[in-house]
Amino acid sequence: MTAARKTLGISRAESAPKDVKASFALTGARLETLKERARDQRRNPTEAQKALWAQLSGSKLGGVKFIRQSVVGSTIVDFACPSRWIVVQISAEDSNPDVNELQDRKLIEVGIRVLRFSEEEVIGNVDTVVRDINAELNVPFDKRSARRKAGARPAAAFASDEG
């Protein structure tokens, strides 16, 4: 049984927020809503999420830890690797490409590397997806440089609430 996914729309506002960090961080009721939605998604993963989690769980990729369905900034990411500042997103066939692009851009603006795959890619060839993720894990990444570029504290970007 799969849970129905809510779809999001985006507004075409011309002016982007000046303070990326301020628009990225959430508090209060909105954060709690996202955490509850993430918990629900962990309890009811898609087939693609199950297949990829089987490969990423338990620090199987060179001892690097991934967490699933985590709140990162103002979005829920499918898989996050906080130590390497990488998130992995799986796009459903019916997902809105504009929303996907907006979410990716917000994450990239604060220094997080985003890898996005379609459900078909994950289900059809999980080994290739894992190889691509592993290749990105091995790319040198300077956290200090990302902090300066983003103007944000790295610990505040990833919020984990496993449940």
Write the pLDDT tens digit of every residue in 137-149.
998 877 666 555 5
In-domain check, residue 46: yes
Q: What is the pTM of this model?
A: 0.73
Whole-angstrom distance between the N-terminal and C-terminal Cα of the chain? 20
pLDDT band at 1, cuts 50/70/90?
very low
- Check which CATH number belongs to the domain holding 97 and give it: 3.40.960.10
Location of structure tokens 């690097």:
64
Tell which wins on pLDDT, 114 or 153.
114
Q: Smallest Cα–Cα separation from 115: which of 99, 134, 96?
A: 134
Amino acid letter at 30? Answer: R
Instruction: Give how many domains the chain has, as a whole number.
Output: 1
Least confident of 11-15, 107-111, 123-127: 11-15
Q: Which domain holds residue 140?
A: 21-159
Amino acid letter at 71? Answer: V
Dihedral angle sign, alpha carbons of residues 101, 129, 125, 7: negative
Alpha carbon distance 83, 89 (integer Å): 17
